């Protein structure tokens, strides 16, 4: 068996175990295989295992890979510049990283031109880190209300990139807080807003994220191995 296959089976097993511990159905968590910096051949191979969702953080990689291998879903998970919206629309099922109203407006405008509605998540800077993008916890509800008024996008939930810690337990309170925020916003029943999705958890902490309610986990290193050149 290839190393990729072994890694894949191991990650799936760990997701299943976390779901069992949390008393959640396996189908309530989707794996996004974060293939950034990795060649399209690896995407092709992982797709042959049945994997359908892939995550990329650079517009250029989504463009190239979706052209070379269009048979899977690409998720935009990295910071998106307004002037690159045109390039990524139509090539991504979900933009996880909508971190400003300005960006949401640009996506909506471009989507309307193309007669489509783009699914998005609002990114929350859950750890309040200066180096990270996203709305603060306090700003998020109002941002979502504003986004809900934009006809070219549909807000499906929240996303966060938690602090990079060796001990996943350190991020548990933050994941729990993000889950609670999504429940709170959901209870307000804002038109054009669904709070069904929670994109949180990476290689170091995805099991904790699942236990706290993640519906998407974004996993790169545990599947594809270390990345050789910086793209984060």
Ligand X SMILES: *Cc1c(COP(=O)(O)O)cnc(C)c1O
Q: Between the CA atoms of 218, 197, 115 and 54, what dihedral angle is there, to the nearest 10 degrees?
A: 20
What is the closest distance, in whole angstroms, from the C-beta atom of residue 149 to ligand X in the complex? 26
57: contact with ligand X by CB under 6 A:
yes
Among 38, 59, 78, 178, binds ligand X (CB under 6 A): 78
Among 43, 76, 104, 161, binds ligand X (CB under 6 A): 161
What is the closest distance, in whole angstroms, from the C-beta atom of residue 110 to ligand X in the complex? 22
Among 18, 31, 36, 75, binds ligand X (CB under 6 A): 36
Residues 169-208 that bind ligand X (CB under 6 A): 202-204
Burial class (CB in 10 A: 0-12, 13-18, 19+), 214: buried
Total of chain residues touching ligand X, rule CB under 6 A: 14
What is the closest distance, in whole angstroms, from the C-beta atom of residue 189 to ligand X in the complex? 29
215: contact with ligand X by CB under 6 A:
no
Dihedrals phi, psi of 126, to nearest 5 degrees:
-65, -35
31: contact with ligand X by CB under 6 A:
no
160: contact with ligand X by CB under 6 A:
no
Buried b (16+ CB within 10 A) or exposed e, 21-37: ebebeeeebbbbbbbbb
232: contact with ligand X by CB under 6 A:
yes
> Which region among 138-146, 165-173, 181-189, 214-222 touches ligand X (by CB under 6 A)?
214-222
> Which region among 6-14, 126-134, 188-196, 219-227 touches ligand X (by CB under 6 A)?
219-227
* β-bridge partners, 56: 76
214: contact with ligand X by CB under 6 A:
no
Half-sphere exposure of 186 (CA within 13 A, CB side): 14
What is the closest distance, in whole angstroms, from the C-beta atom of residue 94 to ligand X in the complex? 13
218: contact with ligand X by CB under 6 A:
yes
By CB under 6 A, name the binding residues for ligand X. 34, 36, 57, 77-78, 161, 202-204, 218-221, 232
């Amino acid at each position: 068996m290839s190393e990729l296959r072994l890694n894949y089976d191991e990650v799936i097993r760990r997701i299943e175990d976390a779901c069992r511990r949390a008393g959640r159905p396996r189908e309530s968590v989707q794996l996004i295989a974060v293939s950034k910096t990795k060649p399209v051949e690896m995407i092709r191979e992982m797709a042959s295992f049945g994997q359908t969702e892939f995550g990329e953080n650079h517009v250029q990689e989504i463009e190239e890979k979706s052209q070379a291998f269009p048979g899977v879903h690409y998720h935009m998970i990295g910071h998106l510049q307004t002037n690159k919206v045109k390039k990524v629309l139509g090539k991504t099922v979900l933009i996880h990283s909508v971190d400003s109203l300005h960006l949401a407006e640009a996506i909506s405008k471009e989507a309307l031109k193309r007669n489509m509605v783009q699914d998005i998540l609002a990114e929350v800077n859950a750890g309040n880190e200066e180096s990270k993008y996203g709305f603060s916890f306090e700003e998020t509800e109002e941002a979502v209300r504003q986004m809900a008024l934009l006809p070219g996008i549909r807000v499906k939930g929240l996303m966060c990139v938690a602090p990079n810690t060796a001990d996943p337990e350190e991020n548990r309170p933050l994941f729990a807080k993000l889950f609670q925020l999504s429940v709170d916003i959901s209870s307000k029943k804002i038109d054009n807003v669904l709070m069904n999705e929670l994109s949180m958890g990476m290689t170091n902490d995805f099991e904790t994220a699942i236990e706290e309610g993640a519906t998407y986990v974004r996993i790169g290193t545990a599947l594809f191995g270390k990345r050789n050149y910086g793209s984060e």
